[in-house]
Every structure is written in C-alpha cells, then in structure tokens.
Amino acid sequence: MNMTGCPTFSSQLVIDLSALRANYRVLRDDVSPAECAAVVKADAYGLGARPVVSALYLEGCRTFFVAQLCEALDLHPTLPVNCTIFILNGLDPGGEAACANAGFVPVLNSRVQIERWRSEARRRGVALPSAIQIETGMSRLGISEPVVEQLAEDPSLPEELALRLVLTHLACADEPRLPVNEDQLRRFSKVADRFPGVPRSIANSCGTFLSGAYHLELVRPGIALYGVPPQSECLGIMPVVSLRSRILQIRQLPGGSAVGYGHTYATPGPRRVATIGVGYADGWPRRLGNVGAAWFRDTRLPIIGRISMDSMAIDISAVEFGELHEGDFVDLIGPMQSLEDVAGDAETIPYEILTQLGPRHARVYLDGNTSAMPTPGDGR
Ligand SMILES: *Cc1c(COP(=O)(O)O)cnc(C)c1O
C-alpha cells in the first residue's frame, strides 16, 4: 500500500519492470518448450503483485502461483481470464467455495485437503481444477508417495478432480552437487507417471538452472525473476530493485561523540554524520547496525550505531563537504550494493530482505522508455 495522498516520502523503492520482463524472457527461452510460470506469493516478494503480474502477462506468462487464497482473491479482479492461479499452500478449511467460484487451482497437500475439495466437487456435480503436491524429501507440504499411489488407483477421482498439475519442491536446489536433487527428481518422476498426460513441475529458480532434466512441463521461478540469480554465473538475470533513502539531518560531530541507542558507537575523530529516513520498521535489518553501509555514487558511507525504528545514522565524512544536503538521497540497494550484498551483511537471504521492505517506501515502477509511473493507491 502507498501512503495515499502524502506529497512526500523518505525513501523510494524503484522496481524496474523492464528488467523483470527481461528476466522472464531469459527463463522462458531457457526452459522452452516447458512452460515458465511465475511465483508471485507474498505480494510478488514485496514488489507488488499486481504490477508484476501485469508486466509478466505482457511477456506471455499465463500461470501464476500464490501461497494463500487471499492473495489469489486480491489478484483476481485485475487478472485476464486466460490466466491460471495456483494456490501453493492449498486451502484452509472453509475456503473451498470461494476458491471454486473464482476458478483458482488449489495445490492439494494432504488427504484431508483432497477430501474437502472432492466434496465441493460432488456438491457442484463437476470436476474441479486441482493440483497435487507430492512429498519427495523436503518434509514440508505434500502427499506421501504411498497415498498418491492409492489416489491414482481411485476410479472416481477423475470425476471429481480435474488434475492440472502434479508438483514437488526441491529442498537443496541451491546446492547443485548434492545427490538429493536427483533423488527427488527420480522419486517424483516415478509417482507422477501414475498420472499420464498431467503436466509435472519440480523446479523453483535454482532448480530451473540445475539442468534441463528439471524443467519437465512447467517451471516455477520466483526470486530469479526479481533479479537474484541462483548462482552469480547465471548470465542474463538483471537486478530489478533499488532502494534509496533521504537524508533527514546532517551534523558535524567532534571526536568521542556517541551515536544512537545504547551508545554502541563513538566517533574516533571529527566526523560528519547524516541521519537517514529508513529504519527497521521499513525492513532494514537491525542486524546492520555498525555493520552495513549506504552509498553516495561510488562512496561507501558506513552505518554507525544501532538502527532505529524509523532512521539510522551513516558516516558521510568521505563525501566532499557541501556535496550532500538534507533532503538528498543515498543508495541502500543500487549499483554499488546489491540485494545479495545487503543480505550477506545481515546474515540472511535476499528473499527475507525483499519481503520485509515495508509499506512506507514509495514504490516507483519503471517500464522501458516510459517515465516513472507512480503507484496507484492500491498498487501494493
Ligand atoms: C516459493 C516457491 C517457489 C519459488 O521459489 P524461488 O526460490 O523464489 O524461485 C516455487 N515453488 C514453491 C512450492 C514455492 O514455495
């Protein structure tokens, strides 16, 4: 959500939709003739599901994955009718009617979920579109192999479930050398064979890059679309997100001045210090106190002291006096500091940084040669 009607902002999250589209083309061309879907759960990893889906639609993406029914319902009004939304986490009790009315495809992860969906189908007298997730070694979500075998034998299943996809999820796709990847592929293929003609899917972003054997009929990348390649040598994936923060105040401090909560930092000599308008409430990890940095062009500006809820302090002494003023911007994610760099400094993963970026950042969507397009009030 945007702070509607607010004429100013302290920070700006710039989302390059043409880079997103280029990333989709890279993946789509790489996996062809398999279908390239897009995972847009958690508001497209915090980037804004609606603008992301619209941009990917223009590149021919027609299949989208969310985690929850609410996310699907949110997207539904703006989604063209020739698109399919899969709900990865399946349905919570009571969600069946809304899901069936909207034509979403729940990923059924347990026998109980299957039975609830089948009774909805019987009530309606039609086979309902369905996907089945098979548990092959992650122990997260999915139906065990023996139960899937039983289902495949059930003669009334096809009258109630119109199977659109069988899928499983890789636990260690980011570690290509581990034999567990091939193990999961082998186990999955064996069970999926019980549903001849039904498209199969195993690969997230990392899985897509493992080898062509993992593409099957459909791949489900998320993070690679949003600019984080599984391995740095995956050429062609471009950054999508940049983040900049305004300087709220600048002060000249003598040596020995304490900075921030808890006085965890003291200036080692005279320093120029800026307070900038992003804090942990905006998803900037508190872990980055006295660790990370902001950047002005190619000058590194170390974060000093603890991160506050709405601000943090940076040492701007390395920038020539008079070059930075109150109201100017410094980069937090940009050409000098990638999302991966920030995640590394914070000892977490880019997924977590992205999905935490809060609603106070003004979202700006760039698309090719059209100029910056402000977020619609309900864009996020
Ligand atoms: C989140 C998710 C994906 C996408 O994963 P990335 O690593 O972002 O590509 C694919 N499949 C399932 C089941 C997921 O939960």
Residue pLDDT, tens place only, 72-108 = 999 999 999 999 999 999 999 999 999 999 999 999 9
Q: Is the pLDDT of residue 253 over 70?
A: yes
5-60 pLDDT per residue, tens: 789 999 999 999 999 999 999 999 999 999 999 999 999 999 999 999 999 999 99
Q: pLDDT tens digits, residue range 277-322?
A: 999 999 999 999 999 999 999 999 999 999 999 999 999 999 999 9
For residue range 152-192, list pLDDT tens digits in order: 999 999 999 999 999 999 999 999 999 999 999 999 999 99
- What is the 11 CA–ligand 1 centroid distance (Å)? 29
Those residues whose C-beta lies under 8 Å from the C-beta of residue 279, and which sit 6 or more positions away, are: 307, 308, 309, 310, 311, 312
Cβ–Cβ contacts within 10 Å for residue 263, how many?
11
Name the residue with tokens 């809304």.
Answer: 98
Read off the pLDDT of each residue in 348-363 and give the average, rounded to a whole number: 96
Regarding the beta carbon of 40 and ligand 1, being less than 6 Å apart is answered: no
- Average pLDDT, stretch 330-358? 97
Q: 292 vs 302, 312, 324, CA distance in Å?
A: 6, 11, 20
Ligand 1 pocket check for 39: Cβ under 6 Å: yes
**Other residues' Cβ atoms within 10 Å of the Cβ of residue 226:** 28
Question: pLDDT tens for residues 99-147?
Answer: 999 999 999 999 999 999 999 999 999 999 999 999 999 999 999 999 9
pLDDT single digits (tens) 198-212? 999 999 999 999 999
pLDDT at 230: 82
How many angstroms is it from 306 CA to the middle of ligand 1? 33
pTM beyond 0.85:
yes
In single-letter form, the type of residue at position 212 comes to G
On whether the CB atoms of residues 68 and 91 are closer than 8 A, the answer is no
In the predicted model, what is the mean pLDDT of residues 57-71? 98
- Above 70 in pLDDT, residue 379? no
Percent of the chain exceeding pLDDT 90 equals: 92
| 24 is a catalytic site residue | no
Query: What number of residues does the chain have?
Result: 380
What band does 324 get if pLDDT is binned at 50, 70 and 90?
A: very high
Active-site residue (options: 24, 41, 45, 365)? 41
Closest CA to 185 of 162, 161, 208: 208
pLDDT in tens, 255-279: 999 999 999 999 999 999 999 999 9
Regarding the beta carbon of 285 and ligand 1, being less than 6 Å apart is answered no
Model pLDDT, residue 231: 74
The catalytic position among 57, 190, 214, 261 is: 261
The per-residue pLDDT for 5 is 79
pLDDT confidence bin for 234, thresholds 50/70/90: low
Distance CA 170, CA 174 (A): 9
